[in-house]
Structure 1
């Protein structure tokens, strides 16, 4: 077994947050890797994260960043988006270079750090829905391509986790898989290239198996993030997710039982309660004046489900509802600081 495999295998695969933990989703505004790392480490000290800066362009975007991690699969940018190719080209090299810059910056700002550290990558089904094969259709429509993509992603993420641990030896790595397209994949709502029809729904057992393959391969706790409606809570638990990250404002009554069952099963909820961009056009922070109010809906749901008040602050991580790439730098910093204050109110006043 390789040294990288040994590194990953020594990690625990469950995550229990410290009371009153907050974190970011992943993306931040701007193009300065050092400034982003400073914010991502300094503003949410209980669960810092490796930031993503999509404003830098292709290769720094969510899909491109993850494509750069794949093993023996390569992609390039076409007018229609990302498309798989035969060999690594400049787009692959750019994606890997951006990731290297971000890891360098993270390493600089985590000297001596010991504790949980979150990293992010796109999950297998959002990747399959978002990347084209040579003919122009999404990989999602080819079961063989989906299998190859899943295997490559699992291997690539395993190596990425090992690299993060090498650079931040005290880190307890938590991997976030971004799966905003998962519900559409399961329901057969992903449109083909023509736009006139949709890809067939992926069998739920097949979809669950692929996600489980990736989760088991990395050997660290995995939370799955989706800012889309109708997050499949039970499906994600069965696949092995330790945590589920979602936009709290999109929950409906039909989700409540699934949320309660998840908490009782020990799943950590990453509740997105702070807008990803400022509500006012000027990008101001006036909406961030009431930390306790930001999590009042979480408290109400908790009481309505009859869950233990004492478990609230260690079962919920407070976060923005989505990435902060579209925010101003000032709002992004303020939003993360606000998440920390809101999370602390769950400790100070769980009721």
Structure 2
């Protein structure tokens, strides 16, 4: 059973965080996301760094579409380039499997604002333009990574923490008095499918879709063509259990967030995670070998709000739990 991190971590030392993740998760190394470095390094800042022909700027309310990129937008691109250099330096010619997480089109549409202040989600034309720009930019990034590090196998994690809220119509408008209408799941699925298709064209062989909020859109993920669903097990509803089983039985990967991250520095032990995993396997009623072969053990969500020492301990315990799971699930 593979183990990996979700991506976001505390601190501002990218090289140190990358080395630590390589030690904890040598089979599937998560590229660190370090939002403590500023908004240019967070989930939206990293996403806008990949946009193609779509200038943005940062103001007091957050990122928004603009006529020309400002200093913050240029900084986000520079920071991403620097991170890529830091990844390439130790991996030049070395075989490895790395997972990079980048914001998906639904969360970006809810988080990026128009010039008039409302979210891109409010304007169907702007939403399509942003989704197309994001897909083109991430496809170019994937192609560049393959070119720079040809011996590295890349797993792409599409981060969509806001997807259930976008699909459920619970994203507040600028005034906070109203909510944007729910985005039709088929329209949302087309945006996701465009991103997946661009990544496939760039040579990405494994694509994961991550959301740690309740309300996982299983059908949309399947229609978009992603390989892995990465979820917080604690958010699963009764209806989700059957979908989890169907997902595994269809031959897809399932990322199981079994280490709760909501309470700062509350490290779950490997034994605690193993107990949760075995209980879930019994509840799902699937062949344990499926979970061993296709499961990916992770923290429930990112660890950016934790201390560095606690985050390191939690990642080590996740890796240990995956080792124990292999022993238990193969019996």
TM range (shorter): over 0.9
Paired with 1:147 and 1:268, the residues of 2 have a C-alpha distance of 29
TM-score by length of 1: 0.89
- Matched with 1:239 is 224
1:215-226 aligned at under 5 Å gives the runs: 215-219=196-200, 220=204, 221-226=206-211
- Matched with 2:291 is 312
Paired with 2:99 and 2:279, the residues of 1 have a C-alpha distance of 28
Greater Cα shift, 178-187 or 132-141: 178-187
1:302 is aligned to 2:287: no
Displacement of 1:99 = 1.0
Give yes or no for contact 1:119–1:174 (8 Å, CA) kept in 2.
yes
- Matched with 1:322 is 301
Q: 1:251-292 CA distances to partner (integer Å, 9 max, x unpaired)?
A: 12221111111111122111111133665xxx4x7x44x313
Displacement of 1:205 = 1.1
Displacement of 1:22 = 0.6
1:53 is aligned to 2:16: no
Q: 1:168-222 CA distances to partner (integer Å, 9 max, x unpaired)?
A: 2211111101111111111111111011111111111111111101001111221
1:14-25 aligned at under 5 Å gives the runs: 20-25=1-6
Give yes or no for contact 1:68–1:74 (8 Å, CA) kept in 2.
no
Give yes or no for contact 2:249–2:290 (8 Å, CA) kept in 1.
no
- Matched with 2:56 is 75
In the comparison of the two structures, how many residue pairs are matched? 326
Give yes or no for contact 1:38–1:109 (8 Å, CA) kept in 2.
no
Give yes or no for contact 1:54–1:325 (8 Å, CA) kept in 2.
yes
Displacement of 1:102 = 1.5
- Matched with 2:76 is 95
Give yes or no for contact 2:248–2:290 (8 Å, CA) kept in 1.
no
1:268 is aligned to 2:253: yes
Give yes or no for contact 1:277–1:326 (8 Å, CA) kept in 2.
no
- Matched with 1:140 is 121
Seen in structure 2, the aligned counterparts of structure 1 residues 308 and 22 have a Cα distance that, compared at 3 Å, is: same
- Matched with 1:340 is 319
Paired with 1:275 and 1:225, the residues of 2 have a C-alpha distance of 15
Q: 2:151 aligns with which of 147, 155, 170?
A: 170
Give yes or no for contact 2:122–2:180 (8 Å, CA) kept in 1.
yes
**RMSD between aligned alpha carbons?**
1.5
Paired with 2:283 and 2:289, the residues of 1 have a C-alpha distance of 15
Give yes or no for contact 2:4–2:296 (8 Å, CA) kept in 1.
yes
TM-score by length of 2: 0.94
Give yes or no for contact 1:51–1:102 (8 Å, CA) kept in 2.
no
Q: 1:46-96 CA distances to partner (integer Å, 9 max, x unpaired)?
A: 100211110011211110111011000121111111111111221111101
Give yes or no for contact 2:170–2:180 (8 Å, CA) kept in 1.
yes
Paired with 1:301 and 1:322, the residues of 2 have a C-alpha distance of 18
Displacement of 1:110 = 2.7
- Matched with 1:349 is 328
Paired with 2:262 and 2:238, the residues of 1 have a C-alpha distance of 26
- Matched with 2:43 is 62
